[in-house]
Amino acid sequence: MAKKMWAGRFEKATDKEVNDYNSSLPFDCKMYSQDIEGSIAHSQMLAKQGVISSEDAEAIKTGLLSIKDDIESGKLTFDSDAEDIHMFIEEELTNRIGDAGKRLHTGRSRNDQVALDQRLFLVDEADEIVELLDTLVDTLIDIAKDNLTTYMPGYTHLQRAQPITYAHYLTAYIEMFRRDTDRLNAAKDRANVSPLGSGALAGTTYPLDREAVAEDLGMHGVTLCSLDGVADRDFAIEFASACSILMMHLSRLSEEIILYASQEFKFYELDDAYSTGSSMMPQKKNPDVAELTRGKTGRVYGDLISLLVIMKGLPLTYNKDMQEVQEAMFDCIETIKAVLPPFTGMMKTMTIRKDNMEAAALNGFTNATDLADYLVKKGLPFRETHAISGKLVHYCIEHNTSLEKLPLETLKEFSPAFEEDVYDAISLKTCVDGRSLIGGPAPETVKRYLDSL
Ligand code: ARG
């Protein structure tokens, strides 16, 4: 085992088991590029401030860039007993450029370094996730535009309630995902400040230019308390929380896809390329993509809960417990990135059975409210018309028919106010077209909303 950089006050080498237990290199190696980026910004600033020579800063930069190249080409691998990615890169740098490498860590601690790396990593990944989510939203917008007059039942309690359109249904999810995008961007924004200069916990006596480093790294500011700078992992928690809400939405949509693709609903036919078969039952076509998405929601919630519990009892400032934050954060990011592309593909490729959707909208007395509203327009009070409509529904159930199929004489037995125009008033088209307030299902309203996005 290589001698530890901090070995000065120790008489013994680290136990092998402890070394392995302690090491975060197997997972924090993911942040090599952010670590290098941060080190270059830090060392360039050190030179500008006269803390190290510009020759040393140039040697450090060249050395770090060559390490980055070698990692990316596979020439340099992470099989090392280094304690973490920060030590790994610094050791490698010193091997390559000698004494100048030993000046890199001036005015810095791994405590502010790791906080920076995680923030930079999260900012990069947030952009990617937001882009994947944008693609899903764009897909839903396209499908919605093609289905402005595709009627389906809207449900409450999973009972047919009132007619809507498939486009209107999709706008519900578009709204959820737009809020998710806002939340992810807000979490990213709050993460995007530099903790460098916080040192181990109490800042440093070197004349660092913290703002210049932040600017160099594309961050919009610096953390304002050195203790908080090294001890804060809110950014990871906020991000995992935005991801959890996003997964909750994807899971609700998944649940409906699973239901709607069943033989009982038959609203959807999943594309063969986005479903799977059974090893035993030849007829099966299973909605695995949706089911896995629903399942992975539990996993992302787990990441969020891990983060909250890891942090909840920690005294200020840095504690090694915080190393555990990384894997939960990485898992959350990787899971979301694995979920979104196949999910979008599934939505894009599935066939919508408009005939079955419309038949379901026609068959569940979804126009019973409109029948009551019709009588209100004829001058009756709503509480009375609600009762009349309810009695008519009961009559229809007993006679195995539907409201719009009842002859006018029958309707008149329930209320003399019924006239020939009732049939138009309770048609699917009228029911949907009439709900044209902002947010309603009327095709014109939904189209205006979609066009506004
Ligand atoms: N690998 C460590 C982590 O992720 C880096 C910071 C180590 N700092 C320390 N004081 N031991 O938390």
Is 202 part of any domain? yes
Give 38-73 as a 3 state SS string.
HHHHHHHHHHHCCCCCHHHHHHHHHHHHHHHHHHHH
Nearest partner of 242 among 309, 333, 366, 172, judged by Cα: 333
Q: Say if residues 198 and 223 touch (Cβ distance below 8 Å).
A: yes
Give 120-157 as a 3 state SS string.
HHHHHHHHHHHHHHHHHHHHHHHHHHCCCCCEEEEEEC
Q: How far is CA 378 from CA 223, 419, 450, in A?
A: 66, 10, 35
- Element spanning 352, H or E: strand 351-352
Which amino acid is it at 115?
A
For residues 312 and 425, state if they share a domain: no
Q: 117: Cβ below 6 Å to ligand 1?
A: no
For residues 185 and 312, state if they share a domain: yes
Among 53, 54, 262, 278, the active-site one is 278
For residues 368 and 319, state if they share a domain: no
Domain tally for the chain?
3
From CA 409, how far away is CA 83, in angstroms rounded?
87
From CA 132, how far away is CA 138, in angstroms rounded?
10
Q: 92: Cβ below 6 Å to ligand 1?
A: no
Ligand 1 centroid – CA 77 distance (Å): 21
Q: 56: Cβ below 6 Å to ligand 1?
A: no
Is 12 part of any domain? no
Which amino acid is it at 66?
S
- Among protein residues, the one with the nearest Cα to ligand 1's atom 2 is 323
From CA 218, how far away is CA 34, in angstroms rounded?
12
Ligand 1 centroid – CA 320 distance (Å): 6
Check if 278 is active-site. yes
For residues 178 and 322, state if they share a domain: yes
For residues 169 and 311, state if they share a domain: yes
pLDDT above 80 for 363: yes
pLDDT above 80 for 339: yes
For residues 255 and 187, state if they share a domain: yes
pLDDT of amino acid 82: 92
Residue 4's pLDDT band (cuts 50, 70, 90):
confident
Nearest partner of 449 among 246, 167, 136, judged by Cα: 167
Is 112 part of any domain? no
Q: 322: Cβ below 6 Å to ligand 1?
A: yes
Is 211 part of any domain? yes
Q: Is 435 exposed, middle or buried (0-12, 13-18, 19+ CB in 10 A)?
A: middle
Q: Quote the tokens at residue 304.
A: 């969020």
Ligand 1 closest atom vs CA 84: 1
Residue 1's pLDDT band (cuts 50, 70, 90):
low
- Element spanning 351, H or E: strand 351-352
- Among protein residues, the one with the nearest Cα to ligand 1's atom 10 is 111
Is 36 part of any domain? yes
- Among protein residues, the one with the nearest Cα to ligand 1's atom 3 is 323
What letter would DSSP give residue 265? T
Ligand 1 centroid – CA 111 distance (Å): 6
pLDDT of amino acid 144: 98
Ligand 1 centroid – CA 65 distance (Å): 23
From CA 20, how far away is CA 308, in angstroms rounded?
25
Residue 185's pLDDT band (cuts 50, 70, 90):
very high
For 10-26, what is the mean pLDDT? 91
For 380-392, what is the mean pLDDT? 96
Find the CATH number of the domain harbouring 445.
1.10.40.30
Is 341 part of any domain? yes
Q: Which residues pair with 154 in a beta bridge?
A: 162
Q: 113: Cβ below 6 Å to ligand 1?
A: no
Find the CATH number of the domain harbouring 347.
1.20.200.10
- Among protein residues, the one with the nearest Cα to ligand 1's atom 12 is 323
Residue 48 dihedral angles phi and psi, to the nearest 5°: -60, -35
For residues 172 and 202, state if they share a domain: yes
Could you report the per-residue pLDDT of 70-103, keeping only the tens digit for each?
Answer: 999 999 999 898 999 999 999 999 999 999 999 9
Q: 111: Cβ below 6 Å to ligand 1?
A: yes
Domain that holds residue 29: 18-106
Query: Which residue from 4, 87, 323 has its CB within 8 A of the most atoms of ligand 1, so it is best to mutate?
Result: 323
pLDDT of amino acid 277: 87
SS3 state of residue 273? helix
Could you report the per-residue pLDDT of 161-181, keeping only the tens digit for each?
Answer: 999 999 999 999 999 999 999
Ligand 1 closest atom vs CA 110: 6
Q: Say if residues 38 and 111 touch (Cβ distance below 8 Å).
A: no
pLDDT of amino acid 11: 87
For residues 227 and 78, state if they share a domain: no
Is 294 part of any domain? yes
For 338-356, what is the mean pLDDT? 98
Q: 323: Cβ below 6 Å to ligand 1?
A: yes
Q: 114: Cβ below 6 Å to ligand 1?
A: yes
Check if 80 is active-site. no
Q: Say if residues 373 and 363 touch (Cβ distance below 8 Å).
A: no
For 340-350, what is the mean pLDDT? 98
Could you report the per-residue pLDDT of 214-249, keeping only the tens digit for each?
Answer: 999 999 999 999 999 999 999 999 999 999 999 999
Q: 275: Cβ below 6 Å to ligand 1?
A: no
Residue 199's pLDDT band (cuts 50, 70, 90):
very high
- Mean pLDDT score of the chain, rounded to an integer? 96
Q: Quote the tokens at residue 166.
A: 């498939």
Q: Say if residues 432 and 443 touch (Cβ distance below 8 Å).
A: yes
For residues 102 and 249, state if they share a domain: no
Q: 62: Cβ below 6 Å to ligand 1?
A: no
